[in-house]
Copies of this chain bind each other. A is one copy, B any other.
Amino acid sequence: MNKSYSGYICQDYKPRQDDLVAEFFLEKGRGASFAEACQAIASESSIGTWTEILTMKPEIAERLSPKIFSLNYSSGIVKIAYPIALFEKGNIPQLLSSIAGNIFGMKEVKNLRLEDIDFPAEYVSSFKGPKFGIEGIRKILRVPHRPLLGTIIKPKLGLSPEGHAQVAFDAWIGGCDLVKDDENLTSMAFNNFEKRVKATLAMRNSAEKITGERKAYMANITAPYKEMLKRAKFLKKQGCEYAMVDIVSVGWSALQELRNENLGLILHGHRAGHAAFTRNPKHGISMLAIAKLCRLAGLDQLHIGAIFGKMEGKRFEVKKIGEEIEHKIVHKDFGGHVLAENWLNIKPMLAVCSGGLHPAKVPLLLKALGNDIVIQAGGGVSGHKGGVIAGAKAMRQAIDAAMNEIPLKVYAKMHDELRTALEQWG
């Protein structure tokens, strides 16, 4: 074991108020003890390297050394407190290069997962957070209590701008509040972004007149940064309230800047690709940590999982994420990998449930996550045997039933669209 990887374990250390605390799951690699692997992580994520170096001065080590204040070989849980000076405020990429950087590749570890991060007040307040948050979104859409209903235009790719706008219109007429592009739909040869936005917003205006409800379109601006910004500004100019971004594919540098631009758009985050590093329970980064970073960065809405849908995602985990992004103060919970957090000035971010949802799953979702969610059904709307309007109606009926605590089967007796949906997927 190399000397430069030692001296970080301080089990009697109590994290200072201005420390940043990270919780990891660790499985040691061959040739290292568990304690040695812990030291290697603490070192590589802060000031050390694989060998002793002459350029390291005692005063630097004194000032900047992280402290491993908790480590447990049997659970694999390791908690490290980092002096805040190790991080550049307002710079998420720099934070990740430190505590979610080289350490995943080290030979001293076999598996390593960043489970959670507790940001100190000084760090939290260097971020803008969501511009609108739950309250702002509800105000714009004039839906004070009910879960919001969204759909994703299907097929994912292939429709023309006009075809896309038509499906959107039907979804809005049927009762959707929100209509969303799919994660891989940007500006295509067969479906140009600007044409699609214009056609879809024209239909939005009609749908608002007909229904008397506010309706919104979440257009996917995912692209290299300048093009993404151009598309966002185009949306604002066209009277769109939202912009949607694929957060993982786009990355933190552009995501943060999009919020910093202060465009007056509600930012919706799709998480396509997250499961490449969040799914393995032993290695990578937890979705919880990603969600917290999104709230800091300033997304207004984020996909957190659907529990009962087509994607992997445990009920307990999704519920925790929901609480973490929507509450002001989160108390620590040793079982569930949630460090304490005080979100201070940062508004709550709205949780979005999506992926394989249909009416039969609505009551379960509301029970698990409460009313402050967006329920998105793509196939669960466009796949309805009666068509898109009927599909949207059935979803809205399911929400109405669940909010009034009426069993779906009972409610379906008086609501044809819901009945059809339950027969089809129930």
Contact = CB atoms under 8 A, between A and B. Distances in A.
Contacts of A189: 85
Contacts of A47: 155-158
B387 A54 contact: yes
Contacts of A272: 96-97, 101-102
Given A97-B222, A277-B276, A310 B106 contact: yes
Given A96-B273, A104-B274, A226-B257, 11 more contacts: A48-B156, A54-B382, A57-B158, A60-B159, A91-B222, A96-B272, A97-B249, A106-B310, A225-B225, A249-B253, A251-B255
Copies in the complex: 2
A20 interface: no
B159 A55 contact: yes
A72 interface: no
Interface stretch (A73-81, A180-188, A198-206, A366-374): A180-188
Contacts of A57: 158
A157 B82 CA distance: 13
A335 interface: no
Interface in A258-313: 260, 270, 272-277, 279-280, 283-285, 310-313
B97 A224 contact: no
- Max chain B Cβ within 10 angstroms of own Cβ: one of A167, A225, A387: A225
B383 A279 contact: no
A207 B246 CA distance: 45
A223 B253 contact: yes
Interface string A31-62: 00000000000000111111111111100110
Contacts of A253: 222-225, 228, 249-251, 253-255
Contacts of A348: none
A222 B311 CA distance: 33
A359 interface: no
Contacts of A60: 155, 157-159
A355 interface: yes
Interface string A144-182: 000000000111111100010001000000000000000
A397 interface: no
Contact of A55 (B86, B155, B186, B425): B155
Interface residues of A, number: 100
Nearest to A90: B224
A158 B104 contact: no
A379 interface: yes
A92 B184 CA distance: 11
Nearest to A390: B54
Contact of A254 (B90, B257, B274, B378): B257
A220 to B, nearest CB: 9
A97 B252 contact: no
A356 interface: yes
Interface in A63-113: 63-64, 85-86, 88, 90-94, 96-98, 100-102, 104-107
A60 B417 CA distance: 27
Given A55-B155, A155-B60, A158-B47, A100 B260 contact: no
Given A51-B380, A96-B249, A254 B273 contact: no
Contact of A97 (B56, B85, B246, B256): B246
A422 interface: no
Given A88-B186, A311-B107, A276 B46 contact: no
Given A94-B184, A250-B93, A382-B53, A85 B310 contact: no
A54 B56 CA distance: 66
